[in-house]
């Protein structure tokens, strides 16, 4: 279950960073924070379900190399998040509402679809996994809006780097357990 919470937290970092920016730029009230948290949380819950479905569809092909798939997918996602977090040129988006918010929610959760392929390796029921991932994202984003209003957007970059490091560590953990410890 610990690995699931690490995955949920790491996947939420892109959306959390966007929420920090929204708080800094738009300073929405509680209703706006709920809307932002719900949008990002819902997208973050649905995307791993898509990835899980693809993983199940190709389970026979993936099963022998699932630990390599986890290492490559989570490692690539982690490195992408670290690179984005270290990129000084990226700015916050203008206030997100309607289709723009939906687009941002989907864009920040694409990595969750790839991570969804690895859900069977966590040995948790998929419904529990997507609920934990979605709820974690929603809660962090809700709080991120207020933190962004108070602290500005600079914290978002550090959150992305931390999330990337967590995804790398999780990929290495799964790989090590399956390759060397017979999990």
Q: What is the pLDDT of residues 35-73, one digit of tens each?
A: 999 999 999 999 999 989 988 887 777 667 777 877 887
2-43 per-position pLDDT tens digit: 889 999 998 898 888 888 888 887 888 899 999 999 999 999
Taking the C-alpha atoms of residue 152 and residue 154, their distance in angstroms, rounded to an integer, is 6
Take residue 21 and report the two structure tokens written for it: 């920016």
What DSSP designation does 181 have?
S
């Amino acid at each position: 279950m610990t690995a699931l919470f690490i995955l949920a937290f790491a996947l939420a970092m892109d959306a959390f960073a966007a929420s920090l920016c929204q708080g800094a730029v738009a300073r929405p009230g509680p209703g706006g924070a709920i809307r932002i948290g719900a949008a990002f949380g819902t997208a973050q819950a649905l995307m791993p379900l898509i990835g899980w479905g693809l993983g199940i569809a190709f389970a026979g092909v993936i099963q022998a190399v699932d630990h390599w798939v986890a290492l490559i997918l989570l490692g690539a996602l982690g490195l992408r998040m670290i690179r984005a977090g270290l990129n000084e040129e990226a700015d916050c988006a203008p206030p997100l509402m309607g289709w723009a918010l939906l687009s941002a929610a989907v864009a920040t959760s694409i990595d969750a679809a790839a991570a969804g392929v690895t859900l069977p390796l966590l040995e948790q029921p998929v419904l529990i996994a997507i609920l934990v991932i979605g709820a974690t994202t929603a809660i962090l984003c809700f709080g991120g809006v207020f933190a962004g209003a108070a602290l500005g957007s600079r914290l978002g970059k550090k959150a992305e780097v931390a999330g990337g490091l967590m995804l790398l560590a999780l990929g290495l953990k799964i790989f090590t357990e399956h390759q060397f410890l017979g999990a």
